[in-house]
Amino acid sequence: MFRWRVYWRVLQTSISERLTYRGDFVLGTLVRFLPLVTQVFLWTAIFAGDESRRLNGYSYRNMVAYALLVMLGRAFSSMPGLASGMARDIRDGTIKKYLTQPVDMLGFLFWARVAHKLVYYTVATIPFALVFWLARGFFDQAPPSETLLAVAIALVLGFLIGFLTEALIGLSGFYLLEVSSLIFIYMMLNYFLSGHMIPLDWLVGALPVGSFSRGVAAWLLKWLPFQYMAYFPAAVLLGRIPAEEVPLRLLVGAIWVVVLWQLNRWLFNRGVRRYTAFGG
């Protein structure tokens, strides 16, 4: 009970911190919508307004809808500054506050990120609603309620996987003095393997038909956790994944959450045992 009271206080305090500089936060939130405009212009130019044209099985309407939904998924799963901030705290000794006070580091950072997302979506509700209303004609049909439920669960999984993956990189700061290169590699892989740049089925389709590498790539992209950060919620809503396969894929995502959480706890406990800090 004491721990939950602490986390509730962390959540409240973090929300207050986000609202302290609300003008800057609101401006930063709105600016993040500008790349979406670029995406719409890009696909409009590629398809040249031809509704009958198909590109790797996607129509112009599908691609614009995919760009909107991927942005929604990325808004849940992206954790800017988390890994670098954790590594910096380890390097400069700030992590001592988590070791000398009855507050778990991972729990504190998790609820701080929950607060960030709550404030972000409160601010972004109107822009998101406006964007989706303007682009309502790009969706083929209204999805059924069970599909919307699956997408909601997928977005939560994306948030958890995004947090735990970046936290794992941040905790590597116990062993590495600088993690910026590791973060860069992760962000580059995530940009491609999450489906943020292009749909994952395009990556598989780029390999020779029937090749062993194509089969391996399809298997990896299907079961790796990256897809839950962008591609999977969008693919479910657009009907790119068979309905009978969605529950299994959601279960796999939940298993990844458990695995990543255990890896975080293991790395944190080992890191604390070997950690040495000096100063006040």
Model pLDDT for residues 119-139, shown as the tens digit of each residue? 777 777 777 777 667 666 666
| Cβ–Cβ under 8 Å, residues 105 and 231 | no
DSSP symbols for the chain: -HHHHHHHHHHHHHHHHHHHTHHHHHHHHHHTTHHHHHHHHHHHHHHTT-TT--BTTB-HHHHHHHHHHHHHHHHHH--TTHHHHHHHHHHHTTTHHHHHSS--HHHHHHHHHHHHHHHHHHHHHHHHHHHHHHTGGGSSSPPPHHHHHHHHHHHHHHHHHHHHHHHHHHHGGGT-S--HHHHHHHHHHHHHHTSSSS-HHHHHHTSPTT-HHHHHHHHHHHHSGGGGGTHHHHHHHTT-S-GGGHHHHHHHHHHHHHHHHHHHHHHHHHHHHH------
Q: What is the pLDDT of residue 280?
A: 47
Q: For 19, phi and psi rounded to 5 degrees?
A: -85, -5
Q: What is the pLDDT of residue 261?
A: 96
* Residue closest to 182 by CA, chosen among 166, 204, 200, 198: 166
What residues of the chain score a pLDDT lower than 70?
1-4, 18-33, 49, 131-132, 134-142, 204-215, 277-280
Q: For 55, phi and psi rounded to 5 degrees?
A: -125, 105
Which pLDDT tens digit goes with each residue over 5-55? 777 777 777 777 766 666 666 666 666 667 777 777 788 888 876 777 888
Q: Which two tokens stand for residue 258?
A: 């458990």
Q: What is the pLDDT of residue 247?
A: 93
Q: What is the pLDDT of residue 41?
A: 79
